[in-house]
Homo-oligomer: A and B are copies of this chain.
């Protein structure tokens, strides 16, 4: 493969350049299909090509296997909406759980759960990638809110941040996954946060 020299001095292959548009629509189609509940193992190159309006050749030219493609697709997932750090810890937590809850309804981010939960054992690379991109950033934001609360005295100074995170995040996932279809979830974030902040034991002042 001969290369050509651009004005900027960047080496560049001869011939027709690869279409960025095709590349984007391949990624997009992959995320769409995953978002519709298709698992990684059932995801077929043909379906991606057809959905993207692209030849299979165009895909194989860029990615040698399906997993590489999915990794790149996951890499385009956007970081979470930053939290408005204005109010009380309680309000910030509610706001954030609400964002997570809302995201879990959205097609695009629904692939989170599908891939993360079911394919984590067969595709450890994907799971790890996903952790980095989707789980950790959110963890970090909530952890920051909790630590702020510990400093201001709104939360216990000896709070176990890891456990607190697990309680909050786990509850949202659990409820959105397992509650009965008809149930309303409008006030879930408030209820979760309030129970978590308050604790299960009675206070001395409420015998």
Interfacial residues, chain A to chain B (CB-CB below 8 A): 37, 39, 41-42, 113-114, 116-122, 131, 135, 146, 149, 153-157, 159-160, 162-164, 166-175, 177-178, 191-192, 194-207
Contact = CB atoms under 8 A, between A and B. Distances in A.
Contacts of A203: 203-204
Interface of A is mostly: helix
A113 B122 contact: no
B167 A195 contact: yes
7 contacts: A39-B39, A113-B117, A118-B118, A159-B200, A164-B200, A167-B192, A167-B196
A87 to B, nearest CB: 16
B37 A39 contact: no
Given A39-B39, A41-B39, A155-B202, A160 B117 contact: no
Contacts of A172: 170
Given A174-B166, A178-B131, A192-B166, A156 B121 contact: no
A122 B37 contact: yes
Contact of A204 (B177, B192, B201, B204): B204
